[in-house]
Structure 1
Amino acid sequence: MAFLSSRRRRARLAPELDDAALSKLLKSLQATMSTGTIATTDLCTAQISRLLDTGAEDWDRRTHRMSVLAYRLSESHVPRAWATREPRNVSALVLHAWAQLIRGRSQGNLEDATAVADCCLRAAELAPADPTPWVVLLGLARLQRLNQSEVFGLWNEVLTRDRWNREAYLNMLAYLGPEEMGSRIQVLDFVDAVRARTPENAPCAATELTALVMQYQSVLTLGGVEALMARKHWDHAPAAESLDRAARTWAQPGFFQHAAAVADLNLLAYALMAAERRVQARPVFEAISGAVAAWPWRVGGDPVSEFEKARNRSTAGM
C-alpha cells in the first residue's frame, strides 16, 4: 500500500498533530533553547507570541496550541520568565499557568495553586472573551478535587466563551469518572447529554468515544479473564452504534475542521482496531497520515510502535 511506504506519512509522535505552524515553532524552540545563549528567553517568547497572536480569536486553535506549548515547556523557565516580564500579556499569563498545572499534575501537587489561579483570573480580566484562562482554572479545579458545583461553574465559564471547547469537555469527562470525583453513572449521564446536543462535527464530538475507550482500557488493566474478554465491550449496542456513526463520517475530507481532529482520528482508529473492524479502520489510518497522538496508543507500550502494529494489521491480507 502506498500510504504505508510514503515517506510523508511515516508514523511519528506528533503532539502538534497537523498544525504546520505549531510544528515549525516547536522545532525552532528546541533549536533556540539548545543554544544556551543569554537571549534565549527573549527569542523563545517572541516566537511563541507571534504564533499565538495569529488568529488569536480562533479559540479552538488557540486552546490546542496553548495546550501543546504548555506541555512542551512545563519543565522550562520560559513561561514563568515571560509572565514575569509581561504581566499584562494574556498569552504569557495563560501559558505560565498551564505549564504550572501540567507540572503539578505530573508531580501530584502544585507548588502554589493560589498563584496559578490568580494568574488565570488576571488573564480573564484582561481578555474577557478568551476561554483559555477558564480552561486552565477547570484543570486546576480537577487537580484540587473541588466539589462539583464549583467545577461545573468553571465549565460553564468556558462554554460561555467557546461552546464546544474540546479540552473543557474532556476535563469534565475525566472529573466525572470514578477515578476522580464521580462515578460510571455520572459519566453515562454526561455522555448522553453531550451526544443529544452536540453537532456531529463539533470539536468535542469525540467525547462519547473517549469515554468508551477509557472504559475499555480500564477493563484491559484488570488483566486475566476480564482483559481477554475486553473486545466484547465493542459489541454492546451503545459502543457499536458510536463506532458506526464515527466510522461513517469522521475520516471524510473536510468533515472535521477543529485543531485536534487528527487526535480524534487516532482515537477512532484505535477503537476500530480494538473492535476488529479492520476494513473501517483503513481509511482512518490514511486520513491520520502518520501523525500519532500519544493517547490512546501509549497504553499498550510505545505509541508509535503500537500505532504501526495496528496500521499494519488493518491491511493484513490485502
Structure 2
Amino acid sequence: MALLRALLRTARMARNTSRLAAGLSADDEVLLDAPDERLGPALVAAGRGEYGTAAKLLSTTREAAEWENRDRYATRLAAFARSRTEWFDAWCTDAPHDPDALLVKAELAVCRSWESPARAELLRQVGPLITAAAEGDPRDPVPWRIALDHARGTNTPHTAFERLWTEAVRRSPHHYGCHVAALQYLSAAWYGSHRECFDFAERAAQDALPGSLVQALPVRAAFAYLTEGGGAAVPRERLDAAADLAIAVSGEYATADPWPAEVRNLLTYVLIRLERWQDALAELHRIGPYATSFPWDRVSDDPLGQFLELRDGIRIEVASGMPLKLRNGDLPYPRSEHGGRAPSGDH
C-alpha cells in the first residue's frame, strides 16, 4: 500500500504540476525588486551619473505629500547610492541643503552603519543627519521612520522610542514604513516580545484605512515569530488570522501590481510555513512577475533563485493533493484551505 500511495503521488505530480503553471509568469520573466515607472528613469539616470531625475522625483513626492512613495523611493535611491555614489555625491555638493538629498543621505548613512561591526557607535554618529533631514520638511514622516530604525540599532529605551513614534504618527497616522519600523523594535529579536509585536500589529490593522497595507501588519508579526523563534508560543489560530487578513488585503489590489509586491511575497512565505499550499499558490498568481528580496534574502543569498525554487515546491505540494483525473478537465483553482488544516508541526 505504501508503494501504491507513492506511485499515485508521483503520477499526480507529473500530470498536474505543469497544469498548475498556467497563469504564472515564466521563470525568465520574473523580476527581483523591479522599480515602478516613476523610479525606473531615476535609477537609469543615476547610473549615468545624473541626479536631476531622482531629485525631481523626490521633490514631487514631498510637494504632493506622497509619503508612502517618498519612503520607498528614498530607500531604493539610497540602496543604489551604496554601490554607485558619483551621482549622489554630485547632488550633495551642488545642493547641500536640499531636503530630498538630506533624506537620502540620512537613509544611506543608517544603512551603511548597520553593516558595520561597530554599528551602535556609527549609528550614534549619524543622529545629526537624521535631525537635518527632519528639519528639511517638518511635515515629512519619512525621517521619523529612519529615526525609528536608528533607535532599534542604538539601544534606545522604550520611553525615547515612544517619543519618536509620537512624532512619526503625528505627521502621518497610517504611514506603513513607520509602522513596520515600530513593529521591528517591538519584536522579540529586539526590545519587545511576540505578544507585544502581535498586539501592536493587530491594533494598527484595526485602525488602518481601507485598503492600506497597514492592515497586513499582523502577517509581519507572524513572520517575525516564525523566523526568530524563542519566547512564548503564539497560537496557530492567531497566525492563521494574520495570514487571512493579509490575503484579504492582497485581494484588494490588482494581480501583478508592484505596489503590494513585498507584502504578497512575505505572505507567501508565511503561508508556506503554515503549509497552506493552495493559498500560497493563489498568492503566486497575484504576485505575477514581481519577486522581492525581502523575505527571501532572509533565508538565501540568492533571493530570486529561492523564490523560483519555492514557487516550484508550492506547485508540487498542491499537485500531489489533486485527483489523478479531473472532471471535465477543470483545474481546482487555488482556494482557501483555512479551517480544515491541522496545526503545523513546526510551532
Fold equivalence (TM over 0.5): yes
Change beyond 3 A, Cα 1:5–1:141: closer
Conserved 8 A contact 2:41-2:53: no
Conserved 8 A contact 2:255-2:285: no
Aligned to 1:295: 294
Partner-residue secondary structure (3-state), 2:284 = helix
Deviation at 1:80, TM superposition (A): 4.9
Deviations, residues 273-310 of structure 1 (Å, cap 9, x unaligned): 22222222223212212221112112332211221122
AA aligned to 1:287 is R
2:215 is aligned with 1:189: no
AA aligned to 2:137 is A
Give the structure-2-normalised TM-score.
0.74
Conserved 8 A contact 1:263-1:293: yes
Larger Rg: 2
AA aligned to 2:153 is L
Conserved 8 A contact 2:188-2:228: no
Q: How many pairs are equivalent? A: 291
Aligned to 1:247: 247
Change beyond 3 A, Cα 1:188–1:278: closer
For residues 223-242 of structure 1, what are the structure 2 equivalents within 5 Å? 236-242=236-242
Partner-residue secondary structure (3-state), 1:87 = coil
Aligned to 1:218: 228
Aligned to 1:312: 312
Return the alpha-carbon distance in structure 2 between the equivalents of residues 119 and 214 of structure 1. 29
Match of 1:48 among 51, 54, 64: 54
Aligned to 1:138: 148
Deviation at 1:6, TM superposition (A): 4.3
User: RMSD over aligned Cα, in angstroms?
Assistant: 2.8
Conserved 8 A contact 2:187-2:197: yes
Deviations, residues 157-186 of structure 1 (Å, cap 9, x unaligned): 111112222221111111112322223332
Return the alpha-carbon distance in structure 1 between the equivalents of residues 249 and 256 of structure 2. 9
Match of 1:177 among 165, 176, 187: 187
AA aligned to 2:23 is F
Change beyond 3 A, Cα 1:15–1:139: farther
Match of 1:71 among 71, 79, 94: 79
Structure 1: stretches of 5+ with no match in the other structure: 33-39, 223-232
Deviations, residues 78-115 of structure 1 (Å, cap 9, x unaligned): 44553343232100111111100000011142676566
2:123 is aligned with 1:103: no
Return the alpha-carbon distance in structure 1 between the equivalents of residues 192 and 130 of structure 2. 25
Deviations, residues 23-75 of structure 1 (Å, cap 9, x unaligned): 33324433x1xxxxxxx3xx2x2121022123432111011111111122135
Deviations, residues 201-222 of structure 1 (Å, cap 9, x unaligned): 2232232101111211124xx8
Structure 2: stretches of 5+ with no match in the other structure: 1-20, 320-330, 332-347
Q: Which region of structure 1 is more displaced relative to structure 2, 98-107 or 74-83?
A: 74-83
Partner-residue secondary structure (3-state), 2:212 = coil
Change beyond 3 A, Cα 1:81–1:180: farther
Conserved 8 A contact 1:4-1:10: no
